[in-house]
Structure formats: structure tokens, C-alpha cells
């Protein structure tokens, strides 16, 4: 196993590495969250999404099945579907009107035979050869995943039993989408990817967590990594809070003089028998699945370049939620997203790192030694960076010799 307790800053800055990442990670043997099946309620429902820089469209077909295709017209490469989501009987490119069936087959080329026998496509042109390119996909308990590599192992094998268990824990019954957030992050995508795995920062950077005791390192909980360390989860159990350990004089995260005008924001309902109140699951490379008390969301991280990325949030509840629980989820939606009481600091801290490491020497590096240098599940302390090291284990494995100096 390679050393993942020291990470050169150049991994977060180098434009050449960014290009290799698109090939070896995003087009490589990895699975990616695309959407929820609940976003495709009927035939012709579609969602546009991405794996890395590759545009995709996810469609509910005439036969009810879910298909994923590259969202690129086979004529001149324009996007076929441009809206984030919608409903359509066919998929039609705006540029020249090429139209596709819901299963991706090319159905119409305007003026294919020309006008009065002149112009048009040659006799050798066969529409059957020019359908939208299919993408391998799997639906796991209502969550749609895709991969651009034929060699990628089956989804459940890739996730590992621990990660599958967490997805089944939350997606154990039908869900409904409550809303969406979207934000641009002015930093390398990997800064957010490792941030989501980092339990060490969570109750130090996020003052709301610590001040109102929603999440503290002095709560019981743990860090879970799968068989290869790439996929991880950190969790806490709110009822196990031990007082102390957070000195307001030393940690800005504790603000004892701050209160809430609407304290009902802190109301919550215990939904799961295991007592877990905060669970952040990260699926390598760019998916985060969260439960923060009663707010549930999928987060999709999309790289836009070596120093810019996008974060898409899909917030959901259960179809059978009663009115009180649904209102609770909507109110707790204020905890997350670009301006969320908990999440807002994550939108800027990556940029602070980007600015801080600008001009760093080639041999300067981050130190990820909290809890040691190994990659393993732990239950005795979340003051540990094992899950962050797990991310870099996956990164270094796939990038290989591209990281050589």
C-alpha cells in the first residue's frame, strides 16, 4: 500500500494531472452517482447529468427501464437534452433536428433523402449505426449509477458490503425529491472530495454543529472504510454526547452566546433503530450520500477544471412521510446547501486551501497523520483521517505513473 499520509500540493494544482484524471478516474473503472430513480417517474422522464466532463442523459424508456446514454448528438456533437430534467416522447437535438427514440436509436434525420432527389445523406448512411452511445448503468435500491469503463467491476463489489448496507439503510422504501441545490466551488474537485470524508474538521470548522451539539467528536460514532479503502462513511450517534472537550477559548466552533430565533430548527425525529443521527457516506470518486438528522441528500461533485468544480445536491424524503416529518425535512434543509448553517463553510474552505498553497514548492505536502497512517475502520475515535487517506489510496492507485515526478 502506498503512503497516503503525505500528499503533495501539486496533486491539487497541476493542469496536466487534471487531464489524466478525466481518463484514468472518471473514464476509468469507477462507478458514479447519476440520479435517483424517483426523478424518472414515467416513460419519457429524463435527467441530464455528467461523469467528469462527459455529458449524460438518463431516461425512463417506453418499456419502463432506465437507460443512460452519452448526451451528444451523433451528427455534430451538440447536446441533445439541454434542460436539467424533463419529459419527452423523443429526444431531439436543437441544432439540426436529429431525433432519437427513448432507447437511443436514431429515428429521424431531417431531409435525409434530400429535396426532390438532390442533396441528403448518401445511400450508405444507416440510421441504425448512429444511435446515442449507451453507458453501462445499474440501479441500486432506487439510486442510479453509471460507469464509462467496460472493465469496471459490478457495482455491489465496487461498493463493498459496508457501503451497500448504508445505502439499503436509507433507501429501504420509496423516496421523493424535495428539492435541489447547486453551487460552484472555486477549487480543485479533490479538495471537496476529501473534505466530505474528513471527520476531523467537521466539528471544528462548522460552528453550528459544535455550538448546538448536533455533532461533536465527543459523541460516539465511527469511521467505516470498505475493502480497498476507497469508499467510506463517518457517523455519529447524537444520544451518546459526552460534555467537555470543546473549550470555547480555543475553538471558534463553540459560540456559547449564540442562540436561535427559531429553535424548532433543532427539532428532529429519530428514524433509524441504530440511533445514528449524522452519517456522511463517500463513494469514490465524486459522490456523497448524507443523513444529517432528518435531512437526506445525494451530492454529486463535477470537475470543471484544475481549480473549479460544481456541487449538485438532491434533497429527498420518503413517499410515506407524514406532514409533520415532511415539514421537518424541509426546515432542516436550511442546514445544507450553499448557504446551509452546517455546509456553508465547505463552500469556501477549499478556496482558502487553493490560495494558501499557491506558489508552494514542489516538495511541499499536506500531512494526513491524525490517527496514524493506516486505512481501516475505527470506532474508538473520529479524531482520525483514515477515511481521507482512503480517498488518496484510490486516487494514487488509478493515477499510477502519472504521479511520478
Residue 312's nearest CA partner among 331, 297, 293 is 297
- pLDDT score of 80: 98
- Nine-digit cell at 112? 435525409
The answer to whether 342 and 334 are in contact (CB under 8 A) is no
- pLDDT score of 1: 53
State how far the Cα of 371 lies from the Cα of 223, in Å rounded to an integer. 11
The answer to whether 272 and 235 are in contact (CB under 8 A) is no
- Which is it for the CA torsion 293, 295, 176, 193, positive or negative? negative
Class of the 161-403 domain? alpha beta
State how far the Cα of 150 lies from the Cα of 308, in Å rounded to an integer. 28
Instruction: Quick: pLDDT tens for 304-321.
Output: 999 999 999 999 999 999
Which segments of the chain have a pLDDT < 70? 1, 239-253, 405
DSSP 173-218: S-EEEEEEEEEEESS-HHHHHHHHH-HHHHHHH-HHHHHTTSS-TT
> CB under 8 Å to 153, separation ≥6 — which residues?
29
State how far the Cα of 104 lies from the Cα of 91, in Å rounded to an integer. 8
Relative orientation angle of helices 386-399 and 189-197, to the nearest 10 degrees: 140
Q: What is the 3-state secondary structure (H, E, C) of 329-355?
A: HHHHHHHCCCCCCCCCCHHHHHHHHHH
Helix residue ranges, H only, 99-188: 155-159, 161-170
Distances (CA, A) of 212 to 137, 242, 334: 41, 13, 15
- pLDDT score of 252: 63
Q: List every span in the chain annotated with CATH 2.102.10.10.
A: 31-138
Q: List every span in the chain annotated with CATH 3.90.380.10.
A: 161-403
- pLDDT score of 208: 80
Please state which CATH number belongs to domain 31-138. 2.102.10.10
Instruction: Quick: pLDDT tens for 218-267.
Output: 778 899 999 999 999 999 887 665 666 655 556 666 777 788 888 898 89
Amino acid at each position: 500500500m502506498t503512503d497516503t499520509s503525505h500528499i503533495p500540493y501539486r496533486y491539487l494544482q497541476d493542469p496536466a494531472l487534471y487531464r489524466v484524471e478525466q481518463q484514468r478516474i472518471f473514464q476509468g473503472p469507477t462507478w458514479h452517482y447519476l440520479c435517483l430513480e424517483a426523478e424518472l417517474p414515467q416513460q419519457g422522464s429524463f435527467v441530464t447529468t455528467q461523469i467528469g466532463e462527459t455529458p449524460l442523459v438518463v431516461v425512463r424508456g417506453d418499456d419502463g427501464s432506465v437507460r443512460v446514454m452519452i448526451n451528444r448528438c451523433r451528427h455534430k456533437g451538440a447536446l441533445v437534452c439541454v434542460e436539467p430534467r424533463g419529459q419527452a416522447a423523443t429526444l431531439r437535438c436543437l441544432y439540426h433536428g436529429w431525433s432519437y427514440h427513448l432507447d437511443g436509436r436514431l429515428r429521424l434525420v431531417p431531409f435525409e433523402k434530400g429535396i426532390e432527389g438532390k442533396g441528403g445523406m448518401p445511400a450508405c448512411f444507416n440510421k441504425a449505426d448512429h444511435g446515442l452511445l449507451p453507458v453501462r448503468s445499474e440501479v441500486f435500491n432506487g439510486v442510479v449509477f453509471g460507469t464509462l469503463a467496460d472493465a469496471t467491476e459490478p457495482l455491489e463489489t465496487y461498493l463493498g458490503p459496508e457501503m451497500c448496507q448504508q445505502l439499503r439503510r436509507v433507501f429501504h422504501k420509496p423516496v421523493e425529491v424535495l428539492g435541489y441545490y447547486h453551487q460552484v466551488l472555486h477549487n480543485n474537485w479533490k479538495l471537496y472530495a476529501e473534505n466530505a470524508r474528513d471527520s476531523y474538521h467537521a466539528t471544528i470548522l462548522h460552528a453550528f454543529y459544535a455550538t448546538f451539539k448536533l455533532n461533536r467528536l465527543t459523541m460516539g460514532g465511527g469511521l467505516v472504510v470498505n475493502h480497498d479503502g476507497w469508499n467510506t462513511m463517518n457517523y455519529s450517534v447524537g444520544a451518546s454526547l459526552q460534555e467537555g472537550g470543546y473549550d470555547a477559548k480555543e475553538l471558534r466552533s463553540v459560540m456559547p452566546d449564540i442562540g436561535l430565533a427559531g429553535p424548532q430548527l433543532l427539532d428532529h425525529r429519530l428514524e433509524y433503530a441504530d440511533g445514528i443521527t449524522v452519517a456522511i457516506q463517500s463513494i469514490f470518486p465524486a459522490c456523497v450520500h448524507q443523513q444529517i438528522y432528518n435531512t437526506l441528500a445525494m451530492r454529486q461533485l463535477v470537475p470543471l477544471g484544475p481549480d473549479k468544480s460544481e456541487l449538485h445536491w438532491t434533497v429527498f424524503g420518503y413517499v410515506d412521510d407524514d406532514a409533520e416529518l415532511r415539514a421537518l425535512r424541509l426546515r432542516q434543509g436550511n442546514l445544507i446547501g450553499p448557504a446551509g448553517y452546517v455546509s456553508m463553510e465547505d463552500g469556501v474552505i477549499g478556496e482558502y486551501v487553493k490560495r494558501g498553497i499557491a506558489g508552494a514548492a514542489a516538495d511541499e505536502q499536506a500531512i494526513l497523520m491524525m490517527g496514524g497512517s493506516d486505512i481501516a475502520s475505527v470506532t474508538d475515535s473520529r479524531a482520525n483521517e483514515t477515511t481521507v487517506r482512503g480517498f488518496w489510496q484510490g486516487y494514487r492507485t488509478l493515477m499510477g505513473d502519472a504521479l511520478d515526478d
